[in-house]
Amino acid sequence: MENKPKITIVKIGGNIIDNEQLLSDFLNDFSELKEAKILIHGGGKTATEIAEKLNLKPLFSNGRRITDKAMLDVTVMTYSGLLNKQIVAQLQALKTNAIGFSGADGNVILSEKRKNSEVDFGFVGDVISVNKELISMLLLQNITPVFSAITHDGNGQLLNTNADTIASEIAISLSNAFDVNLIYCFEKKGVLSNSEDEASVIEEINFEKYSILKEQKIIHSGMLPKLENCFKSLSNGVQNILIGNQNVLKNSTIHTKIKL
C-alpha cells in the first residue's frame, strides 16, 4: 500500500493565545514542522475583553458561550480579524507561508445553525462539510492554512463554531489523502486525573478507559467534549491524536495519547 503524505493539524486553545510568550514558543515549534501543517485557533479572553469595552455582557450556559447578534460581530472581528492576522503575521516572520481563513473564505467550512438544543446558543454553527479539495490544493503549494472558529451557512450568515470540532472535522476530511496527526494544544500537559494536580497526566486513554473515568467523574467536565471529538476522529480515519501543552510538538514532552 502506498504511503500517504503526513500532515499535522493543531488546534491551539485560548489560554495559549492569551499568553504572548506561550504563543511565541508554540509558533516557533509549529513553524519548524517539515511536513504539511494546519493550525486552528479559538479566541481566548480577547473577545470577552473587547465585548466589555463595548459594554456588551458575554452570556454563557454551562461554560459555553451564547452568541447573540452583537456578540457574533465581536467574535468575527476578534477571531477572524485581530487574532487570525496576528498569528499569520507571526508565522510569516518565522518563514512559514500562512494564509488565514474563516469558514466562509473559499467556502471552506459550511455549517448550520445549531438545532435541537435545550439552550438557544444563538449564532452558533455545527459543521456540515469541509472543502477538502481547496485545503489539499493549498497544502500542495506549501501554504499553511490558519483557521479561525468562524464558519458560514451558505446563505450569507456567519456562525461562531467550536474550534475543537473544526479541527476534528478538518482532520477527518483529510484522512483519506493524508496520514493525519491531530494535536489539541492547551495550557495543561494533557488530560489530568486530578484537575488540581498538574503532574497527574494520564499518558494514554482508550475509549474503554475514558468511559470508566467519565462515569467516575474523574475527568474534568470541560475536557469531555474535546475527548468526544478525539474518539470521533479516530473512528473516522485519523491516525494519531495527542493532547498537551504548548510544548506538545517536542517529542520529549509529557502528553496524553488517545487510542480507540
Q: Does the annotation list 44 as a binding residue?
A: yes
114 among the known binding-site residues? no
84 labelled ligand-binding = no
Q: Name which of 40, 38, 42 is nearest 181 in CA terms.
A: 38
CA distance 56 to 126: 24
- Beta sheet of 36-41, edge-to-edge order: 98-101, 144-147, 36-41, 6-12, 179-185, 240-244, 256-258, 204-205
Is 169 in contact with 233 (CB distance < 8 Å)? no
* Residue for grid cell 502506498: 2
Q: Is 117 exposed, middle or buried (0-12, 13-18, 19+ CB in 10 A)?
A: exposed
The answer to whether the CB of 114 falls within 8 A of the CB of 151 is: no
Work out the angle between the directed axes of helices 163-174 and 132-140 (0-180°, nearest 10). 80
DSSP structure string for 95-141:
T--EEEE-TTGGG-EEEEE--S-SS--BSEEEEEEE-HHHHHHHHHT
Containing 235, the helix (H) or strand (E) segment is: helix 224-235
Which of 165, 233, 248, 238 has the alpha carbon at shortest distance from 201? 248
- Residue 97 is assigned to a ligand binding site: no
Which residues are part of a known binding site? 43-44, 65, 160
Which residues are part of a known binding site for substrate? 43-44, 65, 160
